[in-house]
A and B are shown apart, each in its own frame.
Chain A
Amino acid sequence: MARLPALILLVVLVTACSSTPPPVTQSPASPTTAPGAPAATTTSAATTPPDAKLVDPAVIQALKAMGGYLQTLKQYAVAIDLSGERVLADGEKLQHTATANLQVSSPNKLRAQMRSARSQRELFYDGKTVTLYQPQQKYYSQVEFAETNAVLVERLRQRYGVEVPSADLFLWGTSAAPLDNIQSAMNAGQDFIGGKLCDHYAIRQGDFDWQIWIAVGDRPLPCKLVITNRADEARPQSITVYRWNLNPKFGSSLFTFTPPKDAKEAKFVPLKTQQSQ
């Protein structure tokens, strides 16, 4: 019975928390448009699902080409610079940065170093065991696993809440990266990213607007990815810049974790609330 007052308080808290305005819906009405037919047309165009005219098939083709190319890579290393944003209670945004290095050997070997000012973590996967290691505290957590890198990144997220940096790199070009639920896709021109000429595409997909820059030429690698989260009206955005090395040299022990002498194990605890697919 003591729960009741607490629950009431809870309701108040939840209400307060969720009082932030709901996500912005598409297409702000343009007051300058003459009333009547044109305005109505605009509205219906914005609210109806996938309009073929909004999806440039050449963009879908470019995404397919990139995904297909990524899936052909046997070995690569990629350095990742990320800027992310947190939205505070009142809608003010704070930006933070993090870096990662991925070393990948298809189909089932992966090493990821994740660095920020606040934490350092390393992920090892040798096709048999996946280890998450915190070098500063010397704690490691391990589980057995025997699938591809693409399956690994999904399972880690769903079961343990561990996100592998730029997980999209493993998913593009597979059925886990469907291209059929895109509401809008356009070519936005070209830009130089890290000195490389890249095609710039803009895609709207559900609550996410994303932009991708893909290298021009016969190696269509992603140069840069920007994701705008429209589920919050403050629209927090992440910016990822990739630097590729397609000829890395990997030592034989690179993907296998050997605990240092004084390292201790921290057991993985599966998420109590399982993540959606």
Chain B
Amino acid sequence: MKYTVGRLLAMAAAATSLVAVGFSPSAEARPGAGGGVHAGGGGHARGGGDAGANRQVNNSRADVRSRDVRSNSVNSVNANRNVNINSSRNVNVNVDNHGGCCGWDNDYHPVATAAAVTATVAVTSAVVGSMVRSVPAGCVPVNYGGMVYQQCGSSWYMPQGGQYVVVNPPY
């Protein structure tokens, strides 16, 4: 609970900058891509070596609303009965506890959930929701909730279509 409050405090703090900043969906925030989606790419048909199955999608044009998720379908009638009853009732559980709450198919990190709510400029250096081609030196890979993040000091990154998206700390 403490940690949940802590996370929400961070969100709330970020919310104070909401009015000043307005929405900053990832497409605009992408460095070097000039706002264009295909331009700097790297997301499309990367390498193309390993059969068509390795083609990657580019979600940078997806509306931030598409990630403002309040609940999910569940995949098991036995394994996570209790978990999902709770998580689906409280959107904040989803935000805070991604991977802990959701199914194996649910690999949508709620990065823009915060963006939609707070139009985030995080208190940390990197802008949540923005895309970068590589992470800074000295980052540590961490598996939390089944997803691998790059923890770079107080900033967290997640791989997405051959690039990295800045996300809220998962814990």
Contact = CB atoms under 8 A, between A and B. Distances in A.
A180 to B, nearest CB: 13
Interface string B84-102: 1110111110001101111
B9 interface: yes
Q: What does DSSP make chain A's interface, helix, strand, loop or mixed?
A: mixed
A248 B87 CA distance: 37
Contact of B72 (A86, A119, A210): A86
Contacts of B171: 269, 271-272
A163 B103 contact: yes
A136 B159 contact: yes
A85 B142 CA distance: 27
Contacts of A171: 76, 78-79
For chain B, the bracket of interface size reads 35 or more
Contact of A10 (B12, B65, B146): B12
B73 A277 contact: no
Given A88-B66, A168-B79, A238-B73, A121 B146 contact: yes
Interface residues of A, number: 82
A161 B97 contact: yes
Contacts of B53: 115
Contact of B84 (A94, A229, A267): A229
A98 B73 CA distance: 13
B3 A273 contact: yes
B148 A20 contact: no
B104 A114 contact: yes
- B72, B107, B117, B148 pick with most chain A CB within 10 angstroms: B148
Interface string A128-167: 0000101011010100000000000110010011111111
Contacts of B4: 273
B80 A163 contact: yes
B104 A229 contact: no
B81 interface: yes
Contacts of B107: 98, 116, 118-119
Contacts of B56: 117
Contact of B75 (A84, A120, A132, A136): A84
Given A134-B148, A137-B159, A161-B97, A84 B72 contact: yes
A93 B6 CA distance: 29
A177 B96 CA distance: 28
B12 A87 contact: no
Contacts of A85: 72-73
A172 B144 contact: no
B166 to A, nearest CB: 16
B104 A267 contact: no
Contacts of A136: 54, 159
B20 to A, nearest CB: 15
Interface in A1-42: 3, 6-7, 9-10, 13-14, 17-18, 20, 23
B72 to A, nearest CB: 5
Contacts of A116: 105, 107
Contacts of B9: 3, 6-7, 10
Contact of A118 (B5, B74, B76, B108): B108
